[in-house]
Amino acid sequence: MSEKKLSGLPFKVFRDFVRWIKTEKIPSVIIGGVAASILGRPRVTHDVDSLVIIDEAHLKEFVQKARHFGFIPRNDNILTFACKNRVLLMKHKPTAIDIDISLGALPFEHESIKRLVWTDVGGLKLPLSSPEDLIIMKAVAHRQRDLIDIEAIRDAHPNLNLKRIRKWVKEFSVVLEI
């Protein structure tokens, strides 16, 4: 029997990721194409994106313990890179799936993780961002794929909190001057 897949990715990467963050008690949420596929329209993606809240002082231990769950660094200077770019570039060794772990620090990111929704996907519970928060993240990224994802999420969730979306998109647009 073949392994279940989500957005074209084997469930094993998600099971191991959830075990890792739960074991390490790291506040985290799945974002990006996987979340858009679940909250909007199913689509294929080639990696997993997540957002975590972790103190930089604990990053080294977090990365070291990742190996117990099948995750390895994608670059040699992962901690230096992570501190500079606010992202851990990891790979799930058993499946060869890349996982980009954004290191949250902004008030919006803290709020997003507090607002996460544990969502059952084929018997596996995943910590997903709320539809509103995913729309905000995708609006800030503002690539063509993100705009398509926003439309799909809007179609699937007609009762969105538009006030929240407008507030945060406006704040980000001022800061990012877009």
Q: What is the pLDDT of residue 1?
A: 40
- Rounded Cα gap, residues 137 and 109, in angstroms: 9
Give the global pTM.
0.92
Structural domain including 128 reads 5-176
The beta strand positions in 39-175, using DSSP E, are 47-52, 71-73, 87-92, 97-103, 117-121, 124-128
CB 50 within 8 A of CB 99: yes
Domain of 26, CATH number, reads: 3.30.460.40
CB 75 within 8 A of CB 65: no
- Rounded Cα gap, residues 136 and 173, in angstroms: 11
In this predicted model, what pLDDT tens digit does every residue of 48-62 receive, in sequence order?
999 999 998 999 999
Q: What is the pLDDT of residue 7?
A: 74
